Amino acid sequence: MSLTDISAPAGRAAIPGPATPYQGDIARYWDTEARPVNLRLGDVDGLYHHHYGIGEIDEAAVGDPEDSEREKKVIAELHRLESAQTDVLLDNLGAITAGQTLVDAGCGRGGSMVMAHQRFGARVEGVTLSAKQAEFGNRRARELGIDASVRAQVCNMLKMPFETGSVAASWNNESSMYVDLDDLFAEHSRILEVGGRYVTITGCWNPKYGQPSKWVSQINAHFECNIHSRREYLRAMADNRLVPQAVIDLTPATLPYWELRATSSLVTGIEEAFISSYKDGSFQYVLIAADRV
Ligand SMILES: C[S@@+](CC[C@H](N)C(=O)[O-])C[C@H]1O[C@@H](n2cnc3c(N)ncnc32)[C@H](O)[C@@H]1O
């Protein structure tokens, strides 16, 4: 499928792509991204995530370190924890019905979109800067026979091609650290219906620590992103008609995932920064669910 096909559905103007040089950098980053930690985990059951996992390790499923099948089992376990993360996000979307539209802002290869559709039967629209990711997600949706309801488009999530007030719920799953939060929440607030739900799962630096630690700076450099503080999230939501309904600290729940991942062959070199910053309190993994008022 060509970029034009997915970006210009019948009756609608072509979707604008990256708008700034930085967004061009991010589009290139995700176009060329093919880390085994993402692809081999997705191959387990065809749900491709670009986010981290939460929950306790099932030690019996992982087996002991001498097990010849250990690596395969660790991959399956890490993937199970990544899908568990999406489940927690979806748990916080509220009561969604099949006729409604959901938006995954920064949808990656589409794992969360597929899970959302499978759970609610709703239409799920995803946006990403990466044409490769959108093609991948749309191909998976076709393979699963759900492409009438699940679609990824190449566009900037700060200017989404959805009507004002047309969306029941929207989310950012580890994608809000690439944009200005005021701009992002203004756009979610625009597309959401009054009473709609917004959810983010994100890493954020902890204002209680003081300033971003050296670990947070390393994570920013590794992913070419700009991690915001917890305070910035809450302030930008308040300024954009998004009223937090739940703020859940997932940090303790994500540490086992990182500690298991650090023992696998899939390490990317950033594991120490995540583990150290979660442990020294400078970085947190949080879910924030907010009502559009
Ligand atoms: C870490 S990945 C997360 C992907 C997905 N949410 C998941 O959980 O698997 C970050 C995603 O944010 C997207 N992204 C970053 N900035 C964006 C922007 N301005 N507009 C649309 N997507 C953006 C990237 O293209 C990428 O798909």
Q: Mean pLDDT, the chain, as a whole number?
A: 92
Residue 2's pLDDT is what? 31
Residue 115 has pLDDT above 80, yes or no: yes
Residue 286 has pLDDT above 60, yes or no: yes
pLDDT band at 39 (very low <50, low <70, confident <90, very high): confident
Residue 65's pLDDT is what? 83
Residue 44's pLDDT is what? 84
Compute the average pLDDT of residues 121-137: 96
Residue 1's pLDDT is what? 29
pLDDT band at 11 (very low <50, low <70, confident <90, very high): very low
Q: Which atom of ligand 1 is nearest to the CA of 173?
A: 6
| Residues 177-211: tens digit of each pLDDT | 999 999 999 999 999 999 999 999 999 999 999 99
Residue 17's pLDDT is what? 67
Within 6 A (CB) of ligand 1 lie: 23, 26, 30, 49-51, 106-108, 111-112, 127-130, 133, 156-158, 173-175, 178-179
> Which residue among 7, 175, 178 is best mutated to probe the pocket of ligand 1, counting the most ligand atoms within 8 A of its Cβ?
175
Percent pLDDT > 90 in the chain is 83
pLDDT band at 4 (very low <50, low <70, confident <90, very high): very low
Residue 23's pLDDT is what? 93
Residue 45's pLDDT is what? 86
Q: Whose CA is nearest to atom 14 of ligand 1?
A: 106
pLDDT band at 15 (very low <50, low <70, confident <90, very high): low
Residue 6's pLDDT is what? 35
In SS3 terms, the chain reads as CCHHHHHCCCCCCCCCCCCCHHHHHHHHHHHHCCCHHHHHHHCCCCCCCCCCCCCCCCHHHHCCCCCCCHHHHHHHHHHHHHHHHHHHHHHCCCCCCCCCEEEEECCCCCHHHHHHHHHHCCEEEEEECCHHHHHHHHHHHHHCCCCCCEEEEECCCCCCCCCCCCEEEEEEECCHHHCCHHHHHHHHHHHEEEEEEEEEEEEEECCCCCCCCHHHHHHHHHHCCCCCEHHHHHHHHHCCCEEEEEEEECHHHHHHHHHHHCCCCCCCCCHHHHHHHHHHCCEEEEEEEEEEC
Q: Which atom of ligand 1 is nearest to the CA of 133?
A: 27
pLDDT band at 67 (very low <50, low <70, confident <90, very high): confident
Which residue has better confidence, 2 or 272?
272
pLDDT band at 3 (very low <50, low <70, confident <90, very high): very low
